[in-house]
């Protein structure tokens, strides 16, 4: 067992400013000289990018379906050995989803700091905080933080409405300049916000006065073992740039732990590929970079050479669409026989388990894209909402709208690159 100060940040609902508050708190504690490790509940890619800027460290996910409880236990234990404070951003409202942020907090004994959008609210603030933090008898409250407060006087009113047993973590006054922009898949990528560092630092400074520390939490020694060296001696090349950026740090860690050497390349800007045994094109935003994709003929040729050499290629979501014949009627790399399009309505959402190579691999789907093809799926996976996602194979390419979580089953994940 090991101990570390830890807290889970949640809210009554989505849209309350959890990500920005989590980033501001993480930076405020980091500015105190603490080593802060951040996590995100659920399979999100974008919020962790914001938290990585705030902490200066890679961010990991906690999701019982995609990652598994044992992976969460292992990740938290590992973090507790190398950090002074663990901060976990919840998902949606405190009790929303299955599992909810509250379920995750109770499972790992994480105290909950509730942040509440207090605009248009006075003494009701205390009742909302008390009710939410007492709804689960086993939930440990860390305290409350008020967001979008109108004035110093308004903040005092909110503070005074809290019952005496709930700690006050301060108030962040309403400031539209500190809001984070969004698009169809959620927040903008951290690298797209030129003033993100300034916003986080300004908010951290506003919260730093008398900011308490969360309590210490004991994390159990995990039962999971280091994965076998199934990729020992193998080199895996990973696409990484503005269009291909949805990469779990845990996936990178898992590949390295299995013995792989990693190289990175840009399908947008590079004219050649690194020499490797297998290639991975993760998801992202190829639809925003169709000009670069359609005109990079050298990359198209390099990918075809790899394909003709029968080297394994994993294409996830945006990676699959970029390998298709066209996306939104613009030519792409044309290695997968099929047509991709960004639709007006959400096409897939949810964490799930995919059956592959006689194993079960955690994954999640969240996309507006469609892929029309005559290829027959080699496997299908279904979310709890009933949405079916197909997994295709064409030559050495395995492609799907799914984002796989390798650490959920390293042996099955290794098969994707062999």
Same domain, 63 and 186: yes
User: Residue 406 pLDDT more than 90?
Assistant: yes
Residue 48: which pLDDT band, with cuts at 50, 70 and 90?
very high
The predicted pLDDT at position 180 comes to 74
Number of other CB atoms surrounding residue 314 within 10 Å: 22
Across the strands, what pairs with 313? 279, 397
Same domain, 215 and 241: no
CATH number at residue 257: 3.40.50.880
Domain hosting residue 86, numbered range:
2-219
The predicted pLDDT at position 78 comes to 95
**For range 15-25, the mean pLDDT:** 94
- CB contact set of 316 (below 8 Å; sequence gap of 6+): 246, 280, 281, 282, 283, 399, 400, 401, 402, 403, 404
What's the structural domain count of the chain?
Answer: 2
Per residue in 262-277, pLDDT (tens digit) is 999 999 999 999 999 9
- CA quadruple 174, 33, 198, 55: dihedral, nearest 10: -90
User: Residue 183 pLDDT more than 60?
Assistant: no
Same domain, 8 and 74: yes
Range of weakest confidence among 108-117, 177-186, 240-249, 333-342: 177-186
Same domain, 305 and 215: no
Q: How far apart are the first and last CA of the chain?
A: 36
CA-CA distance, 21 to 37, in Å (whole number)?
Answer: 15
Residue 121: which pLDDT band, with cuts at 50, 70 and 90?
very high
Q: How many residues does the chain have?
A: 418
Count how many Cα atoms sit within 13 Å of the Cα of residue 260 in the half-sphere of its side chain: 29
Catalytic one of 41, 317, 326, 332? 317
On whether residue 318 sits in a domain, the answer given is: yes
User: Residue 86 pLDDT more than 80?
Assistant: yes
Domain boundary among 194, 219, 244: 219
Question: Among this protein's residues, is 317 annotated catalytic?
Answer: yes
CA-CA distance, 50 to 55, in Å (whole number)?
Answer: 9
User: Residue 189 pLDDT more than 80?
Assistant: no
Same domain, 214 and 307: no
Mean pLDDT of all residues in the chain?
A: 94
Same domain, 240 and 210: no
Residue 391: which pLDDT band, with cuts at 50, 70 and 90?
very high
Per residue in 126-163, pLDDT (tens digit) is 999 999 999 999 999 999 999 999 999 999 999 999 99
Helix (H) or strand (E) holding 325: strand 324-327
Same domain, 185 and 154: yes
On whether residue 226 sits in a domain, the answer given is: no
Same domain, 196 and 311: no
Domain boundary among 174, 195, 219: 219
Alpha carbon 69 to its chain's center: 16
The predicted pLDDT at position 418 comes to 96
**For range 210-224, the mean pLDDT:** 91
DSSP assignment string, 103-152: HHHHHTT--EEEEEE-TT-STHHHHHHHHHHHSSTT--EEEEEEEEE--H
Per residue in 353-388, pLDDT (tens digit) is 999 999 999 999 999 999 999 999 999 998 887 889
Residue 172: which pLDDT band, with cuts at 50, 70 and 90?
very high
- CA quadruple 79, 85, 90, 93: dihedral, nearest 10: 150
Residue 98: which pLDDT band, with cuts at 50, 70 and 90?
confident
**For range 99-121, the mean pLDDT:** 96
**For range 3-20, the mean pLDDT:** 95
Same domain, 180 and 251: no
**For range 64-72, the mean pLDDT:** 94
Task: Write the DSSP symbol of residue 406.
Answer: G
Same domain, 104 and 248: no
The predicted pLDDT at position 105 comes to 98
Q: Do the beta carbons of residue 166 and residue 141 sit within 8 Å?
A: yes
Per residue in 282-311, pLDDT (tens digit) is 999 999 999 999 999 999 999 999 999 999
């Amino acid at each position: 067992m090991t101990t570390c100060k830890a807290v889970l940040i949640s809210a009554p609902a989505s849209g309350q400013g959890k990500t920005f508050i989590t980033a501001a708190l993480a930076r405020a504690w980091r500015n105190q000289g603490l080593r802060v490790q951040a996590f995100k509940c659920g399979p999100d890619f974008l919020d962790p990018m914001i938290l990585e800027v705030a902490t200066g460290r890679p961010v990991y996910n906690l999701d019982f379906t995609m990652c598994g409880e044992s992976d969460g236990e292992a990740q938290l234990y590992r973090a507790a050995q190398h950090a002074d404070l663990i901060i976990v951003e919840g998902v949606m409202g405190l009790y929303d989803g299955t599992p909810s942020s509250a379920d995750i907090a109770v499972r790992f004994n994480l105290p909950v700091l509730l942040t509440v959008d207090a605009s248009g609210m006075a003494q009701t603030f205390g009742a909302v905080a008390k009710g939410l933090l007492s709804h689960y008898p086993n939930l440990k409250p860390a305290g409350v933080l008020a967001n979008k407060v109108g004035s110093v006087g308004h903040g005092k009113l909110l503070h005074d409405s809290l019952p005496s047993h709930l700690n006050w973590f301060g108030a962040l006054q309403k400031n539209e300049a500190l809001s984070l922009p969004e698009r169809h898949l959620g927040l903008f990528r951290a690298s797209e916000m030129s003033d993100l560092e300034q916003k986080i630092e300004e908010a951290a400074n506003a919260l730093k006065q008398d900011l308490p520390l969360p309590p210490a939490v004991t994390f159990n020694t995990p039962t999971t073992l280091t994965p076998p060296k199934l990729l020992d001696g193998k080199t895996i090349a990973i696409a990484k740039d503005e269009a291909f950026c949805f990469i779990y740090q845990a996936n990178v860690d898992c590949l390295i732990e299995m013995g792989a050497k990693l190289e990175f390349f840009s399908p947008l800007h590079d004219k050649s590929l690194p020499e490797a045994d297998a290639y991975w094109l993760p998801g992202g935003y190829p639809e925003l970079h169709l000009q670069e994709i359609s005109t990079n003929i050298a990359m198209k040729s390099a990918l075809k050479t790899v394909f003709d050499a029968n080297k394994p290629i994993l294409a996830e979501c945006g990676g699959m669409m970029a390998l298709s014949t066209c996306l939104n009627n613009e030519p792409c790399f044309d290695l997968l026989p099929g047509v991709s399009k960004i639709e007006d309505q959400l096409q897939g959402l949810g964490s799930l388990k995919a059956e592959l190579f006689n194993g079960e691999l955690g994954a999640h789907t969240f996309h507006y894209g469609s892929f029309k093809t005559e290829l027959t799926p080699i496997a299908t996976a279904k979310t709890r909402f009933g949405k079916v996602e197909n997994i295709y194979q064409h030559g050495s390419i395995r492609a799907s709208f799914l984002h796989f979580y390798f650490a959920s089953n390293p042996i099955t994940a290794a098969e994707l690159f062999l």
